[in-house]
Structure 1
Amino acid sequence: MIYMEDYVVKLIVFSVAAWSALFLAIRRIVFPKRSFDFCNRLVSTAHAFLAVALASLSIQDWSCPVCPLASKSSPNQMQTLAVSVGYLIYDLVCCQFDKQVKLDNAVHHLVSIIGGIAGLVYQRCGSEMVAAVCITEISSPFLHSRELLKELGYRGTDLNLAADIAFAVIFTFARILIGGPYLTYVTLSADNPYLIKAMALGLQLVSAFWFYKIARMVIYKLRTRSSSFKTQ
């Protein structure tokens, strides 16, 4: 019989509450005049840094970050996953209040939550899971900085374009060219539960769709910038 450890459930609940409290503090106290999305993106940026740090600390063998494959998760890996699952639940609910629900983003959250919970229930695949956390979150600060800069009045500036390009480059290398495909391959080929394999494949498919949208965005911005220089 498989079940989720009590301390893991409590950590997920605590994580949801902590991220919610941080959002409310930013929204009501720190930046009360900023938009809902601005405050939520600050929380998301904080999670990205924390998640990558926790995932890095839980890697057991830096010569092979995804090793040992299909093995029992360590306590550090379980805690890292629980914190991230709690954040994803918070963010999925928070986006409903902002009324900016995007299907691809909702699918990404659901796939990540189900995959994370599956890893916590089976208490396996910790190496693969924390590697996925690193790969998916390492580009997040640049993703959110793009929108934060726009609200701060830097829309259309070189700084905003630099953030766009940095996000596109890091996302491409992490999720499309190197990290994502390799992690998906080893997860599918190892003796992992079928649910975790399905979630790994689903996450990579969402990443591929986002790569298509990001490539279009970068090409459009570079063409627009080139046209503006020609007219000057």
Structure 2
Amino acid sequence: MSSILLQVTCSILAWLSLYSGFWCRNKHRTPEWSCRMVTFLHGLIVTFLSGYTVFIDGPWPLTHAGHPNTPLQVFLICLSLGYFIFDFCWCILFNSESDLMLSHHFLSMCGMTLALDTGRSGSELNAIIFVSEVTNPFLQMRWFLRDSGCHHSLIGDVVDYSFVTLFLGLRIVGGAWIVHSVMNSPKTIVTLKGGILAMYAVSVIFMLDILSFARRKTTKKYQARRSERTKEDHAKRN
């Protein structure tokens, strides 16, 4: 346990140092810009590590839910737990996120802490980290594009539709697969089952907002193209 506490503490200090470095070098930008850079890097790092853990290093989460944690799983959970503690405190300090996002952070921290405390369920936690964080870099890229005024462009459309596709395909469909295996696992404790189910419910609420956004964007694109075609037809007739 002392080793785990040391890893979590080092993770918090590492993310805090990274944020301080971004803020010192970019004082002309807002604190949110620096925080989102940290979030972007966290998403890239843990997506790669959790993907390697789930698909290569193992064990397979759909068949080994509730099994003892491996050293790599413990390291990744500690790394993410340190980030979530940093980001949760930052969001509280700057009052920048909704209650739903804070609930997601809180549930994530509780689930990771429980897995580290019991020494089990690292496989399913790593799988959840993968399907949750794989979309995060695209979400941050969307914010940076909007902040720089380049959101309404081809690359902005690619980022938006990639985010929606990955969210629905991995976080919703893949997440449902993981939740099903966890609920049927006799080795996963009941408290963690409830926490994972609550996290999936939060993802479903996020999905409703994302589908509403995708519908509005598609409708605006269609209306803009229709208006442009009408103007072209009118010009040709003249």
TM-score, L = length of structure 1: 0.92
Question: Shift of residue 99 of structure 1?
Answer: 2.2
> Is 1:197 aligned to 2:197, yes or no?
no
Q: Secondary structure at the match of 1:173?
A: helix
1:139 to 131, 135, 138: 135
Match of 2:167 in 1: 171
Instruction: Give runs of ≥4 in structure 1 deviating > 4 Å.
Output: 60-63
The answer to whether the 8 Å contact 2:61/2:178 transfers is no
Q: Distance in 1 between matches of 2:57 and 2:86?
A: 31
Bigger CA radius of gyration: 2
1:13 to 9, 12, 33: 9
Q: Distance in 2 between matches of 1:67 and 1:81?
A: 20
* RMSD between superposed Cα atoms in Å: 1.6
Q: Distance in 2 between matches of 1:222 and 1:231?
A: 14
Residue-by-residue CA offset, 1:80-137 (whole Å, 9 max, x unaligned): 1011011001011111233213111001000100000000000001111111111110
Question: Shift of residue 13 of structure 1?
Answer: 1.1
> Is 1:95 aligned to 2:85, yes or no?
no
The answer to whether the 8 Å contact 1:66/1:131 transfers is no
1:185 to 165, 180, 189: 180
Q: Secondary structure at the match of 2:149?
A: helix
Match of 2:233 in 1: none
Change (3 A) 1:72 1:44: same
Question: Shift of residue 14 of structure 1?
Answer: 1.0
Q: Distance in 2 between matches of 1:122 and 1:167?
A: 34
Match of 1:79 in 2: 75
Residue-by-residue CA offset, 1:169-188 (whole Å, 9 max, x unaligned): 001001112x1001111111
Q: Distance in 2 between matches of 1:136 and 1:230?
A: 36
Structure 2 residues not aligned, in runs of 5+: 229-238
The answer to whether the 8 Å contact 2:107/2:199 transfers is yes
Amino acid at match of 2:226: K
Change (3 A) 1:62 1:72: closer
> Is 1:41 aligned to 2:12, yes or no?
no
Amino acid at match of 1:224: K
Match of 2:27 in 1: 32
TM-score, L = length of structure 2: 0.90
